[in-house]
Structure 1
Amino acid sequence: MTLSEATHPNHDLARQLRDSRLSGGLRHFIGGQWVEAQSGRTFDAHSPTDNTRLVTVAEGDAADIDRAARAAHDAFQTWKEVSGAERRKILHRIADLIEQRAQEIAVLESMDTGQAIRFMKSAATRGAENFRFYADRAPSAQDGQSLPAPGFINYTLRQPIGPVGVITPWNTPFMLSTWKIAPALAAGCTVVHKPAEWSPVTATLLAEIMDEAGLPKGVHNLVHGFGEGAGKALTEHPLIQAIAFVGETTTGSHIMRQGADTLKRVHFELGGKNPVVVFDDADLDKALDAVVFMIYSLNGERCTSSSRVLIQEGIYDEFTARIAERARNIRVGDPLDPETEIGPLVHPRHFDKVLSYFDTAQQEGATIAAGGKRLGEAGNYVSPTLFTGARNEMKIAQEEIFGPVLTAIPFSDEAEALALANDVRYGLAGYLWTNDLTRAHRFAQGLQAGMVWVNSENVRHLPTPFGGVKNSGIGRDGGDYSFEFYMETKNIAVSLGTHKTARLGVGKAPTITKEEADA
């Protein structure tokens, strides 16, 4: 394991961006205008590399959210009538601009989150892909079905639900913002976006790009702030019809309560404690690559990371030894260095949380086979960590650590592996490594998860559904599944004139006697 300290060309761009883009602070974007918070309040976002101030940010509250919600409501009256073909053109222009500014996006994202630049380049590219994917679906977003019945023609269509709130997390925030905003715009909805306060920078860049691409004023609005201020006001605002949220499970519960009085539709992608199950008949070299990648890439701050590895007993010792060796060789350091594999964690509070599990593991009787310590004196750097000798009831096997920390648990047979895999409150993703075809199907169908990959790491195909079960979420993203959230389905029944309607009130009313009336 090495802590890189070299200077690289990305630092020159970072300095330029800091001087030109961040020195003036970040403002809200409401109704097509860049504005300060109405209260005048601001807060500071910090660099994960040394926790010094990175940028000053406007702190939104209920007044700013109200202004943004009203702008979104007003813009919705015209945006919903814009043709799918025109929305397609605008979304493709957004994708073009994202691609043109991919290096700028990647550097800003690394500066803001601590994620390694090698992964942020692909995150920017995925953001463009998200917009292109939904751009091409915009013309057919309202399409429905023809459902003929005796005497009637029934047909369905989809219509945009209205202004929606989008609340995005601090891990890969640019890509995840596009993942939510692109289908909302393609559907004909307008958006109020509240990004995470720990990583606000690239949300501003995305708003600039959409404005430059010609998105009409008020269709997309950006309000910075904290969950208890701007976030709560957004989830409670009566003009906001739905909330799309990516983040921690407890926060999702709060959002459901806050939106209950206005009957808000919610879509949640929440936490995970995802298992990767390795049987002794698997291709162990490929399995090793996938296990290491899915927990240590993106600093382990990934909702679909395979943070529990369940390994068949006969290969447990050898396989965990190989994981430990790879973990010790991972390059930890400056996120702008292209050679860096793990950068600093996003925030000191999260850093302290991850570090606390090192003591927890030892108290519970697990072994720290690799890592288990902070690196350096400044910043939020953590060594890639492996816990062995763990049991499924331990906190390190049950709780979402959300860092470069892997818990290894042995199992004897398929039945035990499935029981261990399902014995958590989460159910976002699962990964299975075996060359037994029938077991692969059987196990995948029995796994309590919204998504399962067999003999693969997380490889996303955009038309497929993305989401979890249990405490990992509600609803699905991806393909037309996103439109099920951002649009209402309406049925229209047209009579062919052949059915008969029951007739009431055509005969003489019966006479009621005084005795019957008094009864």
Structure 2
Amino acid sequence: MSDLQTNLAKAQAYLARFQQDGVLNHIAGKAMPALDGTTFESISPVDLKPLARVAHGKAGDIDLAAKAAKEAFPAWAAMSGKARRATLHKIADAIVARAEEIAFVECMDTGQTLRFMEKAALRGAENFRFFADKAPEARDGKSLQGPGQVNMTTRHPIGPVGVITPWNTPFMLSTWKIAPALAAGCTVVHKPAEFSPLTARLLVEIAEEAGLPPGVWNLVNGLGEDAGKSLTEHPDIKAIGFVGESRTGSMIMKQGADTLKRVHFELGGKNPVVVFADADLDRAADAAAFMIYSLNGERCTSSSRLLVEESIYERFTAMVADRASRIKVGHPLDPESVVGPLIHPVHEKKVLEYIDIAQGEGATLAAGGAKYEGPGGGCYVSPTLFTNVRNDMRIAQEEVFGPVLSAIPFRDEADALAIANDVQYGLAGYLWTSDVTRAFRFSDGLQAGMVWVNSENSRHLPAPFGGVKSSGIGRDGGDWSFDFYMETKNIAFATIPHAIPKLAK
């Protein structure tokens, strides 16, 4: 048997449970169908065949889960950081033990290729380990001296929180949000994306088998307009952590306004990779290709705008086009595949429409630009590069969220910065230059929450992660995650007898 055939046989064995039992909600430690018994169908983007029937949670299911999270909160919050650390490390161990199952299910559920998903499962374990080790210090604060006074700050978990995760790399992104919430002492109601619900079911199951108390982590599947809306409006949910589209983030903010929800948003991006003539062009071309074509281009930090200095524009875009044309598109379980099918026919249609729009606006197709006839007949799109793009074109302004790169020439540093900042988004930026002073100047002027200089997106877990403008609110990573999931309290102690104001003689 070939590697692909072997992997397909394993995947079918892992998926059999979902095809037989469906994808259930998980509330107060119990797997259960939706209260009204309704389901929706999840399909694989590989061949568009059904993977499972999924419990279609609605307001009643969310209410049940929120009450379970509220009931479990006092005991979980009161547990010592050391005890929470031990539990979270057990969850990480259990993720590692089932890493192959997680990766294979994620490949078939999302279309992401195995070469990336096998690492994503292990990255999920790493997220749990990182925040596990921070749990004992989560409540630590500062000592602040004032005149005749010492201030002591401390932090406390905010309460039950809602976590709404996207369909791209859903397992890893769920751990990125949920691990710090648990480490802080919060309880969770998780609503995964309806396009890719399978590994969320695995994750909560893994957590409870590893010793997480019932009700600390609850899972409700559903659609944004019913389960998602109910979660953001529920009075027992104190905060919402959301990863997804900017438009949806705006809706969540409106829905949570009446209950004064705290929100943390990681939203869309139209991130520039800026290449100056003095850069190491081979490394820059590899990084530019990696950041748009890996993960099928379905990543918020993808470098979807390629800004290149005029003097090297033709040469450099030819280098990227050559790389794009040699990328293997194929079945996600084929170890040789780099790009797999896009998540869903609805999204595939959107990406192909943007390719047509770009050509209609006058952009030049330099690579790809069409549906790819991949194995299974699913949602495959060839790695695509457009040249002669202007920054006012829709292809340069709107988030495509697929393997589509737009190359724009610039004259000088000022022109490059103006083009880079002339979008509604501000999540990430990538800069390639050998001029150190330019690197400092340019990265300082770039309107983005994160900038990588002479590098692709290489994450350091203690560093802050998040965007500006329409790309988000707040930061994840290190103590920044605890700033969201915890309330800060200040206690002031008088250190000298001081005159108390007298209002009566």
> Could you tell me the TM-score, scaled by structure 2's length?
0.98
Q: Does the CA contact (< 8 Å) of 2:450 and 2:467 recur in 1?
A: yes
The CA distance in 1 between the partners of 2:373 and 2:456, in whole Å, is 31
SS of 2:57's partner is coil
Match of 2:484 in 1: 485
SS of 1:401's partner is coil
Match of 2:167 in 1: 170
1:71-94 CA deviation, whole Å, 9 max, x = no partner?
000100111100000000000000
Q: Select the structure of larger CA radius of gyration.
A: 1
Match of 1:97 in 2: 94
The CA distance in 1 between the partners of 2:475 and 2:209, in whole Å, is 30
Aligned counterparts, 1:12-411, within 5 A:
12-376=9-373, 378-411=377-410
SS of 1:232's partner is helix
Match of 2:449 in 1: 450
- Aligned alpha-carbon RMSD (Å): 1.0
Match of 2:413 in 1: 414
1:48-70 CA deviation, whole Å, 9 max, x = no partner?
01111111100000000000000
The CA distance in 2 between the partners of 1:478 and 1:197, in whole Å, is 26
The CA distance in 2 between the partners of 1:6 and 1:48, in whole Å, is 20
SS of 1:309's partner is strand
Question: Residue type of the partner of 1:410?
Answer: P
1:8 is displaced (CA, Å) by 3.0
Unaligned runs of 5+ in 1: 508-519
The CA distance in 1 between the partners of 2:474 and 2:397, in whole Å, is 23
1:23 is displaced (CA, Å) by 2.0
The CA distance in 1 between the partners of 2:478 and 2:286, in whole Å, is 29
SS of 1:352's partner is helix
The count of residues paired between Structure 1 and Structure 2 equals 502
Q: Structure 1 residues 497 and 439 mapped into 2: Cα distance closer, same or farther (>3 Å)?
A: closer
Query: Is residue 449 of structure 2 the alignment partner of residue 439 of structure 1?
Result: no
Question: Residue type of the partner of 1:311?
Answer: V
The CA distance in 1 between the partners of 2:470 and 2:460, in whole Å, is 24
1:258-303 CA deviation, whole Å, 9 max, x = no partner?
0000000000000000000000000001001100100000000000
1:500 is displaced (CA, Å) by 2.0
Question: Residue type of the partner of 1:38?
Answer: L
Unaligned runs of 5+ in 2: none
Larger displacement relative to structure 2 (355-364 or 243-252) = 355-364
SS of 2:259's partner is coil
Larger displacement relative to structure 2 (374-383 or 345-354) = 374-383
1:494 is displaced (CA, Å) by 2.1
SS of 2:329's partner is strand
The CA distance in 2 between the partners of 1:35 and 1:496, in whole Å, is 57
The CA distance in 2 between the partners of 1:89 and 1:391, in whole Å, is 53
Q: Does the CA contact (< 8 Å) of 2:3 and 2:335 recur in 1?
A: no
The CA distance in 2 between the partners of 1:334 and 1:42, in whole Å, is 28
SS of 2:241's partner is strand
1:359 is displaced (CA, Å) by 1.2
Question: Residue type of the partner of 1:235?
Answer: T
SS of 1:477's partner is coil
SS of 2:16's partner is helix
SS of 1:189's partner is coil
The CA distance in 1 between the partners of 2:107 and 2:149, in whole Å, is 58
Q: Post-superposition, which runs of at least 4 consecutive aligned residues in structure 1 deviate over 4 A?
A: none
Identical counterparts, % of pairs: 67
SS of 2:85's partner is helix
Question: Residue type of the partner of 2:454?
Answer: N
SS of 1:7's partner is helix
The CA distance in 2 between the partners of 1:416 and 1:148, in whole Å, is 47
SS of 2:71's partner is helix
The CA distance in 1 between the partners of 2:43 and 2:181, in whole Å, is 30
Q: Does the CA contact (< 8 Å) of 2:232 and 2:252 recur in 1?
A: yes
Match of 1:517 in 2: none
SS of 1:165's partner is strand
The CA distance in 2 between the partners of 1:93 and 1:222, in whole Å, is 20
Larger displacement relative to structure 2 (134-143 or 7-16) = 7-16
1:482 is displaced (CA, Å) by 0.3
The CA distance in 1 between the partners of 2:307 and 2:412, in whole Å, is 11
SS of 1:331's partner is coil
SS of 2:430's partner is strand
> Could you tell me the TM-score, scaled by structure 1's length?
0.96
1:21 is displaced (CA, Å) by 4.0
SS of 1:154's partner is strand
Question: Residue type of the partner of 1:445?
Answer: D
1:497 is displaced (CA, Å) by 5.3
1:157-212 CA deviation, whole Å, 9 max, x = no partner?
00000000000000000000000000000000000000000000000000011001
The CA distance in 1 between the partners of 2:389 and 2:145, in whole Å, is 59
